[in-house]
Structure 1
């Protein structure tokens, strides 16, 4: 218990200090005129989480626990790919390939059957990108991820996985330390390194922690623990599809942006998302303890499409460009000055 508190405190303080240092270095040596706000804060989150989690075994005060070391290695590989993407253009196929391989390693070591393992890999990759998509508004992703990490830590400890519980507690503390700098007005952003690392670590831990649970209970808990990011991703995909916009191009069409259109402040939008994640996490913990049957998530499954439909009514793209009629184009062309072959204007 004392080691867990000390590790969380160390992760919080170390992340806050590293984030401030990275921000200062980027402002001093970064490319001028490209980004108004530095975007490598995720490096601090990843380094603090990995460093504090590994410090216990190195100092001889705690063990990582079964399955934690491969999980850390896989999450570190995903963070490295995200860092490369932050520094230079990186194809989507490369990212998905690395994430799929890393997820396959985690799932294989978790002992899932081939069929369940394949579904788990797809789910991990999807949730990883769902967290990356959520990182578009100051404080939103950090608040949701910190709450989710704490909920998963409780589940891990209840399942007799103290190593995973410690790792997730350290991640929650690191995200809290980062929020000191990412709260509105944000002085630094996570970037792909931090968002992919966080999403992958949470999704992989969720699968690993729940491998002993029955299929329906596992599905219900995974759904509730990731309810906010899944709703946000569904909203974005449907919205861009209806607006005929590229699905993979960023935009201000997430839940946080729509809440701001409704009058919420950036801080208020982050708090709303954090509270929603907390409520969903509490439901997931109640299911994990057996106090609520897995079928209780069915109403939440109906709330998600209802929320998407309501939020789609909030305008975020602006009016479409006006299309000129053929008559208008002909009139404009006839009004333009003519140019002869000699270069003179008539």
Structure 2
């Protein structure tokens, strides 16, 4: 217990300091938020994701190496796989990668960490799909200052409590360290952001949290497990579903950033940028709390239906909020005449 508190405090301070120290190197290397540059007065360095990943791995492996806080069976492999996914995201931050490469790489990493002896082959395949879904959902959730970090901290504490209930002490400590590192990063990511999470940090967040949740639910029945996992990832999942519906209907690429996410639509309803993050953070807290209580047996499984209903209502209502869609023009020569095409 004492080590967990000490490790969390160290992770918070180290992440806060490292995010600042890496700002200038990130700017010089061109590691900036390219897709969001139009909406910012100056480039946003993606030093926060590197700081969160580095500090989480450093503190967790220090506990493992000193044997003060061993990670436990499979948890070390989980952390290595999450770091590999973060490295893939870092490549995507520095250079453009096809969406299929991100999906395939994340799926391979997920396939390496799922405990098939407890989930079975069919359950393991579903778990891999869930992990990939959550990793991409958190990447999409990184569309507003402070949002992905806030939801990540709330979810990390929730999954950490589930791990503690299952007496997975190493996993619980890892999640506390990760939540603390994210909190240190949030000191620089609250609007106006001075450091960004980037694909590296967002994919790492979604992968680590979803994989840890799968670990805590391994061995349980499939239907209750699906309900708990849904609650733990409700906000990120709702955002992903909303974006998929809108972009499929408009015929636009799914992984290209646009002003059609949850926070964008809440702002169109009159909320401030900070207010939208607070509302979504509160929604995440409520959903995660239900998931934790159901997992611990302190609440019936039917409570998941309330979370599902709330998420469905939010998606349907916000679908009706009109947002300004991105447009790009290109000159195309057709039949000897010059036409303008918008995409």
Is TM more than 0.5 here?
Answer: yes
Q: In structure 1, what is the equivalent of residue 144 of structure 2?
A: 137
2:215 to 202, 208, 227: 208
Deviations 1:80-134 (A, max 9, x none): 1111111111222222222111111111466321111111101110111001000
Equivalent-residue separation in structure 1 for 2:127 and 2:156 (angstroms): 18
Is 1:188 paired with 2:198? no
**Is residue 116 from structure 1 mapped to residue 126 from structure 2 by the alignment?**
no
The answer as to whether partners of 1:139 and 1:184 remain within 8 angstroms in 2 is yes
- Call closer, same or farther: CA 1:215–1:263 in 2, change over 3 Å: same
TM-fit CA distance, 1:68? 1.1
What does 1:208-247 align with in structure 2 at a 5 Å threshold? 208-247=215-254
Q: Distance in 1 between matches of 2:229 and 2:33?
A: 42
Alignment partner of 1:264 is 2:271? yes
Aligned to 2:205: 198
> Any gaps of 5 or more consecutive residues in structure 1?
322-332, 334-346
Contact 2:259 2:325 in 1 (8 A): no
Counterparts of 2:105 and 2:28, CA distance in 1: 32
User: Moved runs in structure 1, 4+ residues, more than 6 A?
Assistant: 31-34
Query: 2:188 & 2:294 partners in 1: Cα distance?
Result: 34
Change over 3 Å in CA distance of 1:163–1:319 after alignment to 2: closer
Larger-gyration structure (1/2): 1
- Say which of 132, 135, 150 aligns to 1:128: 135
Secondary structure in structure 2 of the residue aligned to 1:248? coil
- 1:104 correspondence with 2:104: no
| Change in 2 beyond 3 A, CA 1:32/1:211 | closer
Matching residue of 2:6: 6
- Say whether 1:294 aligns with 2:301: yes
CA contact (8 A) 1:67 1:110 kept: no
Q: CA deviation at 1:213?
A: 2.4
SS in 1 for 2:260: coil
3-state DSSP class of the match of 1:89?
coil
Name the Cα RMSD after superposition: 2.2
Deviations 1:219-254 (A, max 9, x none): 111011111011111111112223333322210111
Q: Number of paired residues?
A: 323
- CA–CA separation in structure 2 for the residues paired with 1:318 and 1:41: 28
**1:170 partnered with 2:177:** yes
Q: 1:214 deviation in Å?
A: 2.5
Q: Which residue of 1 aligns with 2:288?
A: 281
Bigger mean CA offset, 232-241 vs 291-300: 291-300
Written as runs of structure 1 = structure 2, the 5 A alignment for 1:21-40 is 21-28=21-28, 30=30, 36-40=43-47
Question: Do the aligned partners of 2:45 and 2:196 also contact (CA within 8 Å) in 1?
Answer: yes
In 2, Cα distance between equivalents of 1:264 and 1:220: 30
Whether the aligned pair in 1 keeps the contact of 2:235 and 2:284 (CA below 8 Å) is: yes
- The farther-off stretch of 209-218 and 97-106 is 209-218
Extract unaligned runs of 5+ from structure 2. Answer: 38-42, 329-338
Q: CA deviation at 1:31?
A: 7.4
Matched, 1:52 2:59: yes
Report Cα offsets for 1:288-337 as digits up to 9, x if no partner. Answer: 1212221221232222222111101211125999xxxxxxxxxxx9xxxx
Once the two structures are superposed, what CA deviation does each residue of 1:7-61 show, in whole Å capped at 9, x if it has no partner?
1001100100110011132345547996511123201000010000011122342
CA offset digits 1:116-157 (Å, max 9, x no partner): 111110111011100100001000110001000000000001
Q: Is the 8 A contact 2:31 2:45 kept in 1?
A: no
- The answer to whether the Cα contact below 8 Å between 1:41 and 1:190 also exists between their aligned partners in 2 is yes
Kept in 1: contact 2:32–2:45 (CA 8 A): no
Q: Take 1:319 and 1:31, find their aligned partners in 2: how far apart are those partners?
A: 23
